Amino acid sequence: MSSSGTFTKFNNLPYQRPDLEALHATYKTLWGRLDAATSADDVLEAVQEWNTLRIDYATMENLAETHFTQNVKDENFKAEKQFYTDNSPTVTEWNEEVSKRLLHSPFRPDIEAKYGALFTRRIEDAARTFKPEIKQLLIDEANCGQEYTALLAELEIDFRGEKYNLSGIRKFAEDTDRNARREASEAQQKALTAVADKLDEMFDRLVKIRHEIAQRTGFANFVEYRYMQMGRIEYTASDVEKFRAAVREIVVPLALKQHEKQAKRLGLGGLENFYSFDESLNFPDGNPQPSAPEEGIITDTKKMYHALHPETGAFFDMMIEGGYMDLTTRPNKARGGYCTNFPAYGVPFIFSNFNGTSDDIRVLTHEAGHAFQVYSSRRQPLMDYFWPTMEACEIHSMSMEFLTWDWMDKFFGEKTPQFRYSHLEEAVTFLPYACAIDEFQHWIYTHTTATPDERKAEWKRMEQTYLPWRKYSNAPFNQSGALWQTQLHVYLYPFYYIDYALAQLCALQFWKRHQNKDASALQDYINICTIGGSLPFLEIVRAAHLDSPFERSTMQAIIAEAASWLDAQAV
């Protein structure tokens, strides 16, 4: 986006594969300039040139990734995706040569005075997590992740004479006909069972690769490596374990109670007759569903964001006019939802898979929270500050879901109270699952010689600990202890999951402030979007006037508030 406010539409964003030979020559010139720098101005000018180089490369890489996920069978963008898989580790090596020179520069104090000590801390940690000898391992890891994405995107599920992908079949999990829910679950399980061995083989490779990456870079294990790589500078694995312990003690009993209430609402008597295929249906007459098709949802969302704040209104106008959203489910489209950005143009992009359920609205507002944040911080001086670390990113997305509550009647009409009830209930009951995924990953990377069967046995233990209501019927894939293998974060973004739980504790505080008509809540939210990644996680939490999610008292207070609200609702 230019300073005049004009922008290039997504379909017109030019893609060009980087010329690596020319790029390498540019980097060499930059290294030489840093080596010869005689003033702070020389170094600061080089930092900005480096910033431009990284922005241009990231823009092309993100465009290639986006086009690939839009159609994983597109041979052109499959090749472009492979180009970055094969060559980004080399570009990382070139960037690390810049980092080394900045970190050892006599003008480092001037760099920190200009951009903050967080910038040099981040590039210092990045240097510790990269060595040239891991380049092939990084390529192997990315290739394996790409195989996983394609395998599950192309998975076909036969159900009642039609074929569905994993995104499309999800709508039947909310069918009021219990036979439909059961049969859809069985069809999904059959399809997943057919690729179970491939999933095991892929994950075996990933664990070995990641453990070797940690070993070669001097870390005791991949847990330590990944915490540093993810920029977790204010807390450790021990702090996260204390958080999980608090969830086990405070949240799991409430989640169990809420599932018991759900089973009774559905006329199943109690948890003894409540199975996993029942969990997505909240009300016997059906879950709230959007009252309009995709086009109507976009129209109503535009009205909502204009009513919420002038800045969110202008932002969403740009998203619509620029075509920076792909929301339609279709064959060979990668599953899930995400937000990315094209930093050379200052614009984000929202990717989702609408399936006619309330998730369409929740995912759209969630990803719009991410998009609004990176759009708001596009004028930060360095690309390192466009995004914060992952747990802070999720504050923006999850909080946006709650800050838009007043306009949910546009989408759900008379079922809006049921939507709000389900939304808050799921926000709370999600916490144990997030912690199960996180604890499981800590176990995986400290038990790197475990067999697939041993990993599945450990996941069963996680389910018993965190999800004591969970019961399966004719679900061989899940019953084997393999459910976690459909959680793409475990394969593609290791340790990126507790972030959702930490952020949820922050988002629930925004929910409470919104319920209490706290007029400052929305402005605090907008402020932390503008901050971007220029502060670490807990400082962003403080800037938003929120309490740390690591404090047990924070969890106790907000979960008690949520439980009280849920008990008071007549649904």
- Number of Cβ within 10 Å of residue 136's Cβ equals 12
Domain ranges in the chain?
Answer: 10-128
- Number of Cβ within 10 Å of residue 9's Cβ equals 11
Angle at 538 between CA 532 and CA 544, to 5 degrees: 65
Quick check: 515 pLDDT over 80? Answer: yes
Q: How many helices (H) and strands (E) does the chain have?
A: 24, 5
Pairing of strands 347-354, 325-328: parallel
Q: What is the DSSP letter of 534?
A: S
Q: What is the pLDDT of residues 338-347, one digit of tens each?
A: 999 999 999 9
Pairing of strands 338-342, 162-164: unpaired
Q: What does the mean pLDDT of the chain come to?
A: 96
The C-alpha atoms of residue 118 and residue 557 are separated, in whole angstroms, by: 32
327 backbone dihedrals φ, ψ, rounded to 5°:
-115, -10
The C-alpha atoms of residue 47 and residue 43 are separated, in whole angstroms, by: 6
The two tokens of residue 487 are 């959680």
Q: What 3-state class would DSSP assign to 129?
A: coil
> What is the arithmetic mean of pLDDT over 332-359?
94
CA atoms within 13 A on the CB side of 392: 30
Q: What is the pLDDT of residues 241-276, one digit of tens each?
A: 999 999 999 999 999 999 999 999 999 999 999 999
Please state whether the predicted TM-score (pTM) of the whole model is above 0.85.
yes
Q: What 3-state class would DSSP assign to 340?
A: strand
The C-alpha atoms of residue 122 and residue 412 are separated, in whole angstroms, by: 44
Quick check: 2 pLDDT over 50? Answer: no
Angle at 375 between CA 505 and CA 130, to 5 degrees: 75
Q: Is 53 exposed, middle or buried (0-12, 13-18, 19+ CB in 10 A)?
A: buried
pLDDT of residue 6: 64
Q: What is the pLDDT of residues 421-450, one digit of tens each?
A: 999 999 999 999 999 999 999 999 999 999
Pairing of strands 162-164, 347-354: unpaired
Q: What is the pLDDT of residues 60-115, one digit of tens each?
A: 999 999 999 999 999 999 999 999 999 999 999 999 999 999 999 999 999 999 99
pLDDT of residue 167: 87
CA 392 to chain centre: 11
